[in-house]
Structure 1
């Protein structure tokens, strides 16, 4: 596919709202560049736990956004219920109590909340480590922990006592539900199994094994147990647990399934942590999209020699086409991305560098144990060069996984780029500078006084950098250092008026991605910008 075949969505259309701009009135400004979207803004920033509320709407926990929205199952209209700047930080699962209260598993901070029908928030517990799966049995509340050695607990919203342990030794719990037999059914992600136990405790019983990547246990209206699996295939395992035990697997093609809920007509509403959105699966096997998937950032962008655009989207690698996004591979923490022929080099917040073959999506681990790597560029010999943010250095990764330090002693390196003479440049997000990497690992200041510089590219005789704090694109002449504002009012970072601190990820504990607005150069010289404030890739072409 040639670069000109990537169809852009007109940016001037004011009827397209986004998380960054709910009214749909926002528009980047540039005298020198024409700015277009390559895909429409995202509607749900990751869709995790889902549950039908007393009002008949589907409530969707958006872990990546830090909010909860209600979706009308007939129209798909989305209404924020728990806002971005509320007390809940990163909701992962939801359940409704008998009195209509919404209970929320707030995963990274280890809190469980109750939102009463009148909109008041009450902290139920801060004694649960990595709370995830949550369910109500009448007026009783249960939650499990998404960690190895986790617990299944009963919580008491009235504060009458602390958590009661129902089961221990879970291999990462997740979405659970009471079955028709009155028992609690829950998955164990690591072992790929479904288990059950009485709400009052007892000996846990394994119900099913070989449910790969099991992230949820759900019952349909006919009493069939459905094991929900994440991953590329979106596999559902239907088990006649109260009959002959027969099981049937169905591949939905929904990448990164996280959770599901059934309506009274036995339609299954499926969420995706990887791409957001809600898909409805009918009992007869038909499928329809209630809320389309979108980008949850993106946090990295690149284009290959044919002009195909790829995005690193935290939980997946996406390929942009026809105004939408196709999932190429599912991976955890995908941030930096750079094209090298048919290969893509990827940096993950989990400290890994992968190479992905675009012909099939296979991932090859190149290096591990890095400290919060972010931006990636292609260096000499096609080697991936990574800004290792947590270690304050820039490293090259060879074919055997060995690391060569190109620069060290940096403060907060975020992205890296090379000019035509193979000189390296690195953006220092907290120091507000762009540094040039000299021979022997020395660095000199190329530009200073920048407001949170992140994405960085070299195009001909100019260096371009995204100043995320100021929401603008700035260009510099390589020869003279002359500075020019190229574009302003970019939809990067949190929406205007929202001020919260995103902590660095804690190893072993899921967290929201660190902000990173990346840049790339397309084969035709256009600039590609990851507009992580609205979930799009912007294409900037000279007027």
Structure 2
């Protein structure tokens, strides 16, 4: 949280701006080649899941702000609603065929009619997460998590004001209605499954001992199932409350739906996967999955690549492309990483969704420092003295976090996104408006290095001290020399999935040999841009 607010004068040294010289793309094309190092899929980090009337699956994604369809037979996916309207965590299907979903960040419930029209159903519900109709299909309920804790009945037509059912019910995640008309819900704050009266809000505990229950569903025989996202266990609960494990899936499962044929479909946000579970036999088959979930940024320590993979912290071998994992959501304290930088001792992870920065000890994996209360931070770097510089593009500023104190370092600097530390200890900042500028942490002095670079998301420092930037609007990587000379190293890259209201996903870093590595977020992939011989 910002503990003090004190304006610091910013010196815009425009007289020092160096002229730029464009280099023809043909010259760069003969010197660099793009190699796909890690391949992925088009489905990005799914959260909620529902079954459409035509038999297709619908998935909601908070990280990629997308609602997609998935063919359960082939795994083929299609984007139905894109950013930002598609920012969603859970969904429900109305009897009319309208798709309704929750947007926890916007605090709204939205709907998409069969003809494609999108409307806002309810507002002013920060953290709204779970959503379900009762069995009649006429009464709609939503639960708030994270930013608030409550259960509401809302008008599907969007006319009447929401009715409060229960305040502080314990974090009701994806819930379902039982044959008795009661709500059966995971209480995420207590590791329990509870029965909730939708009229009075009265709660009775049915089963305990879960680490992170995320979803409760009934099958066609009215048998009750619970999904634990931290352990990956899919559990059946009998009427007496006894638990029977049906199957164990990877951690970071986020939701499930049960089809009439007795199969459960489980979404996993860290694997960008949907799995099918036979509830009678426990057999698991994968409908679709990816090595990467939604790589929003990338960093390097000179040996290994590290990815802020939306719902996981991952490694990539820069030679072989082998993917490893350090942490994932739910089974650790990891938030939703969208920005990453690395030092000898720490990972510095930025979460735009949560509005936070986490500093993680590389040796232990423990979070050693957190900064919360930020406004959509894009990136953060740790300086030699242990302080942090954080970019807030929505506020047009850089912040300096020293101990518990967070103060503005440079203001009115456009929309600063990616950051990098130079050899001199200054900070390079990529402005989404196309500028590259340098800031001295001690004084806040700002010097523009280049302009007209497109829609910038990220910057990195090359071995010779020059810079490379990622222009996600132009889908290219540009080198910027000390004298201001520019060179396009590669174009046509699969980057920039989130770019409204500014560049928000995709990243780049540089290896010790000068190879540029790109987080190709559109394809859940990683590319290497290598210099060719001759």
Contact 1:142 1:152 survives alignment (8 Å) = no
Between stretches 254-263 and 139-148, larger displacement belongs to: 139-148
Report the CA distance shift for 1:518/1:165 in structure 2 as closer, same or farther (over 3 A).
same
Aligned to 1:432: 435
1:122 Cα deviation after fit: 5.3
Between stretches 355-364 and 446-455, larger displacement belongs to: 355-364
Report the CA distance shift for 1:416/1:396 in structure 2 as closer, same or farther (over 3 A).
farther
> Given the alignment of the two structures, is residue 74 of structure 1 paired with residue 73 of structure 2, yes or no?
yes
Contact 1:342 1:359 survives alignment (8 Å) = yes
1:368 Cα deviation after fit: 4.8
> Given the alignment of the two structures, is residue 501 of structure 1 paired with residue 501 of structure 2, yes or no?
yes
For residues 439-485 of structure 1, the C-alpha deviation after alignment (integer angstroms, 9 at most, x for no partner) is 6443322223332333111213321112233332221222x332222
Name the CA distance, whole Å, in 1 between partners of 2:450 and 2:357: 28
> Given the alignment of the two structures, is residue 483 of structure 1 paired with residue 482 of structure 2, yes or no?
no
Name the CA distance, whole Å, in 2 between partners of 1:57 and 1:415: 38
Contact 1:195 1:204 survives alignment (8 Å) = yes
Between stretches 180-189 and 201-210, larger displacement belongs to: 201-210
> Given the alignment of the two structures, is residue 191 of structure 1 paired with residue 190 of structure 2, yes or no?
yes
Q: What's the secondary structure of 1:314's corresponding residue?
A: coil
Name the CA distance, whole Å, in 2 between partners of 1:122 and 1:385: 41
1:325 Cα deviation after fit: 4.5
1:177 Cα deviation after fit: 0.6
Contact 2:459 2:469 survives alignment (8 Å) = yes
Name the CA distance, whole Å, in 1 between partners of 2:350 and 2:510: 18
Aligned to 1:139: 137
1:56 Cα deviation after fit: 1.8
Aligned to 1:13: none
How many residues matched?
A: 490
Q: What's the secondary structure of 1:533's corresponding residue?
A: helix
Contact 1:298 1:312 survives alignment (8 Å) = yes
Report the CA distance shift for 1:112/1:168 in structure 2 as closer, same or farther (over 3 A).
same
Report the CA distance shift for 1:366/1:107 in structure 2 as closer, same or farther (over 3 A).
closer
Report the CA distance shift for 1:353/1:142 in structure 2 as closer, same or farther (over 3 A).
same
List gaps (5 residues or longer) in structure 2.
1-27
Report the TM-score, using the length of structure 1 for normalisation.
0.78
Q: Residues 45-444 of structure 1: matches in 2 within 5 Å?
A: 45-80=44-79, 82-84=80-82, 88-117=85-114, 119-121=116-118, 123-126=120-123, 128-136=125-133, 137-147=135-145, 150-158=149-157, 161-201=160-200, 203-221=202-220, 223-231=222-230, 233-240=231-238, 242=239, 244-248=240-244, 252-283=248-279, 284-293=281-290, 295-305=292-302, 307-320=303-316, 325-329=323-327, 330=329, 331-341=334-344, 343-349=346-352, 350-357=354-361, 361-365=365-369, 367-368=371-372, 372-377=376-381, 379-380=383-384, 383=386, 385-389=388-392, 390=395, 392-393=397-398, 395=400, 401=403, 407-409=409-411, 411=413, 412-430=415-433, 432-435=435-438, 437=440, 440-444=443-447
For residues 225-277 of structure 1, the C-alpha deviation after alignment (integer angstroms, 9 at most, x for no partner) is 3332334x33444322x1x3212457835232211012234322111233422
Report the CA distance shift for 1:159/1:61 in structure 2 as closer, same or farther (over 3 A).
closer
Name the CA distance, whole Å, in 1 between partners of 2:350 and 2:111: 37
Between stretches 449-458 and 351-360, larger displacement belongs to: 351-360
Between stretches 156-165 and 253-262, larger displacement belongs to: 156-165
Name the CA distance, whole Å, in 2 between partners of 1:83 and 1:324: 32
Report the CA distance shift for 1:250/1:419 in structure 2 as closer, same or farther (over 3 A).
farther
Name the CA distance, whole Å, in 2 between partners of 1:104 and 1:207: 27
Contact 2:388 2:401 survives alignment (8 Å) = yes
RMSD over equivalenced CA pairs, Å: 3.4
Name the CA distance, whole Å, in 1 between partners of 2:422 and 2:64: 35
Name the CA distance, whole Å, in 2 between partners of 1:67 and 1:417: 30
Report the TM-score, using the length of structure 2 for normalisation.
0.80
Contact 1:413 1:429 survives alignment (8 Å) = yes
For residues 374-417 of structure 1, the C-alpha deviation after alignment (integer angstroms, 9 at most, x for no partner) is 33446437x474333258336476xxx46798953462433332
Report the CA distance shift for 1:259/1:474 in structure 2 as closer, same or farther (over 3 A).
same
1:141 Cα deviation after fit: 3.1
1:75 Cα deviation after fit: 1.5
Q: Higher relative contact order at CA 8 Å, sep ≥6: structure 1 or structure 2? A: 2
Name the CA distance, whole Å, in 2 between partners of 1:85 and 1:333: 17
Contact 1:30 1:486 survives alignment (8 Å) = yes
Name the CA distance, whole Å, in 2 between partners of 1:160 and 1:370: 34
Name the CA distance, whole Å, in 1 between partners of 2:88 and 2:372: 29
Q: What's the secondary structure of 2:315's corresponding residue?
A: strand
> Given the alignment of the two structures, is residue 464 of structure 1 paired with residue 468 of structure 2, yes or no?
yes
Q: What's the secondary structure of 1:64's corresponding residue?
A: coil
Report the CA distance shift for 1:299/1:181 in structure 2 as closer, same or farther (over 3 A).
same
Aligned to 2:4: none
Contact 1:424 1:436 survives alignment (8 Å) = yes
Aligned to 1:23: none
